[in-house]
Amino acid sequence: MTTEFPSPRVDENIGRQVRRDQAQTTIRSVVPALCSNLVVAGITTLILWRQVPTALLLSWLCVLVLVTAGRYLIVRHVRDAAFEDRPEDALRRISVGAFFAGMTWAALPIICDLVLARQSGMLLFVFSGLAAGAVAIGPSHSSTSLAF
């Protein structure tokens, strides 16, 4: 004998409001995250300045700054647009930006490993902090944290 349980019905208005609240909270938390991301990138660049070829390091930093600027433009766009009708679209765009930022940070150990393996402890420390920050800043939308 099998018992079938009815699927729970969620009021569409409540679901839509939850998504709007997620989008608003995520949008508010992204700009401080972008600022801290740039500060950490600057500190990391200073630490690695004499150990990694300048051209490689500055190239990585330029890409990170461009990705961060792109993320800021995305946030401005979804904040200024009427995303209340499409909060999923706003969250998706912010998550895509987080993904590209994470990929840019992920390139740094590859660059450093080509040149220098002794900074792996410092890089592990930086990446652990970045991952913890992504989780702490983005709890309203887990996909954004996971994308990073």
- Indicate the residue type of 27: I
Q: What is the CA radius of gyration of the chain?
A: 19
Kindly report the pTM of this predicted structure.
0.74
CB neighbours of residue 26 within 10 Å: 26
Between CA 144 and CA 29 the distance in angstroms is 11
Q: Within its chain, how far is the Cα of 39 from the centroid?
A: 15
Alpha-carbon gap, residue 101 to 114, rounded angstroms = 21
Annotate 38-72 with b (16+ C-beta within 10 A) or e (fewer): eebbeebbeebeeebeeebbeebbeebeebbeebe
Q: What pLDDT tens digit does each residue of the chain (148 aa) get? A: 566 656 566 567 777 787 888 888 888 888 888 888 898 889 888 888 888 888 988 999 999 999 999 999 998 888 877 676 788 888 888 888 888 988 888 888 777 765 555 656 666 667 666 666 665 555 555 566 556 5
Query: Which three-class secondary structure string do you get for 57-88?
Result: HHHHHHHHHHHHHHHHHHHHHHHHCCCCCCHH
C-alpha 114/C-alpha 84 separation (Å) is 46
Q: Which of 43, 61, 147, 71 lies closest to 104 in space, CA to CA?
A: 61
